[in-house]
Amino acid sequence: MHASARAQRDAFLRKLASPPAVMGILNLTPDSFSDGGRFASFDAAVAHAAAMVAAGADVIDVGGESTRPGAAAVSASEELARIAPVLARLASEVAAPISIDTYKGEVAARAAELGAVMVNDVWGLQKDSGMADAVAAAETALVIVHNRVEKEASVDIVADMERFFDRSLALAAKAGIPRERIVLDPGIGFAKTSAQNRAAFAHVAKLKERGLPILVGVSRKRFLGSDAPALDTLAGTIAANLAAATLGASIFRVHDVAEHAAALKTFFTLRDTTL
């Protein structure tokens, strides 16, 4: 990793000690559930990333494959074709660290070469056997997201999450990924029933006991079920993220950056004033 990228990585990780950190979502996909296809052109993607940084994003999370339920998988070569030209420009044109949202080691390695300083793996090193080594070699930070192959209502999702993180952290340690570069994400909306999403969300406070920063990604997701409040609205998403903040989350992955930056800044200012 180049010295400038290393400095950017470390500055972002230091920021997590005094939250909030807002992660702006940049989907370079035709089929993401919320904004698929909106930023397919390179110019539009770079402009949107710059706008999110201006609005208060601390890091930009770039994805070239949709992770919505039922989305079709894409090859590493297709994913790279979508992201590489944009990453090359973001590194020189956008004044914020870049995260790559991928579960493929080949994609993570190339993204790091193009300037990404964080890998956001929705399979927590457990989908691609080469991912842990790729992250270690690239020296990026790492987000480990809890995931499952399919929903199973009978599963104790909290116990499943703890076992999953134990395995992912063991893989990270074996590959030589420093623990201080790791972030955990409970994977809200990933192969979980509404009840399991609630349990995973509530477990954020317990996850904090592992001594690692917690990221939540609830933006525009109706993760509580169709009969629950409409969390896929802006107001609902902000409410959910503020609830996550009370539980100890420090990184918030969102589409609507300006509104979340303002709401979270107010929340943490008031919280710290009253402590």
Q: Which residues are catalytic?
A: 221, 253
Nearest to 180 by CA among 2, 1, 14, 4: 14
Question: Is the CA virtual torsion 265, 68, 90, 42 positive or negative?
Answer: negative
With contact defined as beta carbons under 8 Å apart, do 237 and 219 qualify?
yes
Q: How far from chain centre, in Å, is Cα 194?
A: 20
With contact defined as beta carbons under 8 Å apart, do 9 and 118 qualify?
yes
Phi and psi at residue 238, in whole multiples of 5°?
-60, -45
With contact defined as beta carbons under 8 Å apart, do 131 and 110 qualify?
no
Q: What is the full DSSP assignment across 123-181?
A: TTT-S-TTHHHHHHHHT-EEEEE---SS--TTS-HHHHHHHHHHHHHHHHHHHT--GGG
Phi and psi at residue 258, in whole multiples of 5°?
-60, -45
